[in-house]
Structure 1
């Protein structure tokens, strides 16, 4: 984990989507922007939830100040999170596993396109 100090700025309960929406502030003077994984681990530890239920939507760093603000969604159920969160957000938060997931989905899409092309040619 980087040498950043984290602070939860706000927590909003979204009962419709069964999640909590957090704004987390990270102070990191003379250090790089904290990674998504470090933010996920810190939020999971603070809220007492599994890291798999935490998704960092974005991290915005202010130039020259050493301060970043992250938008984080914390779900009660991991299956629900995978349905609601966009695929690119899931992939960004899963790292190497996410890259494999994206490649697999691209492969499936191209296979479906090929099937459609073959059907059109037959007609």
Structure 2
């Protein structure tokens, strides 16, 4: 898999970099969020825990996936600004068991 950065914008208000990318995966499966995070972190030379994959979309019959990622300056900023479901999907927060659901 190869990742090409299509656009890179700095969001000064939220203190992050927003990246649109294309993951080319000819004759391979669609890359997981973890694989995409690793590649983006390596390409931009940032720690993996600062990269949040917002979404990835693949079209039927195409050998690429388009996605949107956010790179924060610190992990604390990511934890404060991102919704819980994205933190769980990206492995930065563990899913808590809902123990009081049937009380």
Give the TM-score, by structure 1 length: 0.76
The list of structure 1 runs, each at least 4 consecutive aligned residues, that deviate by more than 6 angstroms after superposition, is none
Q: Does 1:60 align with 2:53?
A: no
The answer to which structure, 1 or 2, has the higher relative contact order (CA under 8 A, 6+ apart) is 2
- Give the total of aligned pairs: 102
Residue segments in structure 2 that go unaligned for 5+ positions in a row: none
Query: Aligned to 1:87, which of 84, 89, 98?
Result: 84
CA-CA distance at 1:46 after TM superposition: 1.3
Residue segments in structure 1 that go unaligned for 5+ positions in a row: 115-123
Give the TM-score, by structure 2 length: 0.90
Structural RMSD (CA): 1.7
Mapped to 2, the partners of 1:46 and 1:29 lie a distance apart of 19
CA-CA distance at 1:27 after TM superposition: 1.1
CA-CA distance at 1:7 after TM superposition: 0.2
Q: Over alpha carbons, which structure has the higher Rg?
A: 1
Counterpart position of 1:12: 9
